[in-house]
Structure 1
Amino acid sequence: MKKGLFLIGVLLLASCSGKPAQMLPSSQSSVIDWVDFVNWNDTTYTANYETNEMDKVWKTERVLGEVTYTLDGHAGANHTSKNGDAAYLPKGTKLYEIKGYDPAFRILANDKIYEVSEAGKAEKVEDFLDIEGKVNRVILQSEEDLSFIGEFSEVHTKEFIDELLLLPYEEAGRTTEGKRVFFGIELTDGSMTRSLYWPETGYINYGTTASERLKEIFEAEMKASNY
């Protein structure tokens, strides 16, 4: 299993969140600084740092599984991750379904939210991005510190989400070149799911490529916010 669907985006967003940049291992590394992830049901989840700083108590449903292997301190640079692997969560840590969320999108482990970063067998974005009916607003954020830059109009927000969820999930052809645009989708419970958009290639860091209409919406909102 790959170690992260949206790895570039995960690292960029982590570095802008005030957390130490976490790198996947290279063959030259003597000390491995893993991305904080866990694998379950052929899906890779990474810690959602901003949401975990909300100090919110999340209600859980059933136990989905548990960590069977901790990479930190045990795995080498060439380790191939599999279901049950986690970067830092101790062996035996329970993985929980969160009330109100499809576990394809988010799960809870050790009182922390882990959000999908590689969507396994998904065919469309809606198969894992469980945000329909939960969106408060879409915002543009600074590349330097993720501070607020602008907010999509109400009309564009609805159209953007509807269009995004129907896009095909792509395991290949992820081209991340040129300028990058940081944006966040704020949900009604106050949490945020962040992503990146590359205007030059149209790639969106949810494993998909923007439709022509989504490109138009991005362009209009970026212009309105002087992004």
Structure 2
Amino acid sequence: MNLKRYSVFAILAAVLLLVSGIWIVLRDPAGQNKCFFGEVEYAPVLQWNGVIYNENWDTPLTGLKKGKPVGEITYTKADHKCPRKVMQDGDATLLDVGTKLYEVTGYKASARLWAGDRLYEANSNPNAKTLNDLLDVAGKIKTVRFISGMDGTTHLMDFTPEAAEIFIREFPKLKYIPFQELYKQTKGWVGANYWLEIEMKDGSTMTIVYNTLSPSFNPPAYATPELAALVEQQRKLIYTK
């Protein structure tokens, strides 16, 4: 599977399949067996200060710098046949024990962390009220574009400057809702999805998914009517040029 495409699926699945231990519940509904004896393909996830982070492995890193050290990984789920179901601070799915964690210069540690030389971004924060609380992107976004949902890489079209200005202003203000809740409220987040890429002023990028039926985003938030109309209007431009 294309790594960029997989990274988005990891964002969608990480909370459901890793944080809550649903893969154990599915195997053992009674919850009597704490071990999993099959093959587990973990998404790259870590927890720090109550925040769950996913690796962003498809973004350019040259414009990002390491800040202060904040800690290190102390437990790796993939190393255990009987991993604990609920992640704790310092836990990772795949990172080696001892991997150092650092701030990302210019971003809050609750939004981004370096794990060694890998970039991890928040996808779940119990203290976040808005998407900016989760992502710390206000004032940092350069542009937004549609990308192909087939490969997660091909650029289809940048938003027009006027539309990008509105999106850049309004997207960080959206009310954050944990993906578990969004998933339940939308009965599985069903419906067609658009893939978008946000490019930061430092050159790093973030892939987001827009659901047309809800309408809502992941990173998780419901779109305002203005943003929903904006995304649909910009999408139509792809096919009129």
1:131 lines up with 2:131 in the alignment: no
User: Which SS does the other structure have where 1:80 is aligned?
Assistant: coil
The TM-score normalised by the length of structure 1 is: 0.84
Aligned to 2:174: 167
Unaligned runs of 5+ in 1: 1-10
- CA pair 70-105 structure 1, distance change in 2 beyond 3 A: same
Aligned to 1:13: 5
Contact 1:32 1:77 in 2 (8 A): no
The total of aligned residue pairs comes to 212
Contact 1:182 1:195 in 2 (8 A): yes
Change (3 A) 1:166 1:213: same
Task: Tell whether the 8 Å contact from 1:26 to 1:77 is kept in structure 2 after alignment.
Answer: no
* 1:45 matched residue in structure 2: 53
Residue pair 1:16, 1:143 contacting (<8 A) in 2 also: no
Counterparts of 2:217 and 2:177 in 1: how far apart (Å)? 10
Within 5 Å, which residues of 2 pair with 1:41-120?
41-51=49-59, 54=60, 56=62, 58-74=64-80, 76=82, 79-120=85-126
Divergent runs of 4+, >4 A = 21-25
Question: Which residue matches 1:219?
Answer: 232
The residue that corresponds to 2:33 in the other structure is none
Q: Provide, for residues 165-203 of structure 1, a one-character-per-residue CA deviation record: whole Å limited to 9, x for no partner.
A: 111111223331110010010112221111101111112
Q: 1:154 and 1:108 mapped to 2: Cα distance? A: 32
CA contact (8 A) 2:5 2:151 kept: no
CA distance in 2, matches of 1:48, 1:12: 9
Matched, 1:150 2:157: yes
CA separation in 1, counterparts of 2:73 and 2:212?
Answer: 38
C-alpha separation in 2, matches of 1:168 and 1:55: 28
Deviation at 1:78, TM superposition (A): 6.3
| C-alpha RMSD over aligned residues | 2.5
> In 2 relative to 1, CA 128–144 (structure 1 residues): closer, same or farther, beyond 3 Å?
same
Is this contact kept in 2: 1:71–1:86, CA < 8 A?
yes
Shifted more, 117-126 versus 37-46: the winner is 117-126
Per the alignment, do residues 226 and 16 of structure 1 end up closer, same or farther by CA in structure 2, a change over 3 Å counting? farther
Distance in 2 of aligned mates of 1:16 and 1:201: 18
Classify 1:173/1:133 alpha carbon distance in 2 versus 1 (closer, same or farther; 3 Å). closer
Closer/same/farther in 2, CA of residues 57 and 69 from structure 1, 3 Å limit: farther
**Match 1:30 to one of 27, 32, 38:** 38
Check whether the contact 2:7–2:55 (CA below 8 A) recurs between aligned residues.
no
Q: Is the 8 A contact 1:135 1:186 kept in 2?
A: yes
More helix by share: 2
For 1:15 and 1:167, locate their aligned partners in 2 and report how far apart those are by CA, in whole Å: 23
SS class of match (1:50): coil
Give the drift of 1:226: 2.7
Return the alpha-carbon distance in structure 2 between the equivalents of residues 57 and 88 of structure 1.
25
Query: In structure 2, the residue corresponding to 1:217 is in which secondary structure?
Result: helix
Q: Secondary structure at the match of 1:26?
A: helix
Q: Which runs of 5+ in 2 are unaligned?
A: 28-36
Which whole-Å CA distance do the structure 1 matches of 2:159 and 2:193 have between them? 17
TM (norm. structure 2) is: 0.80
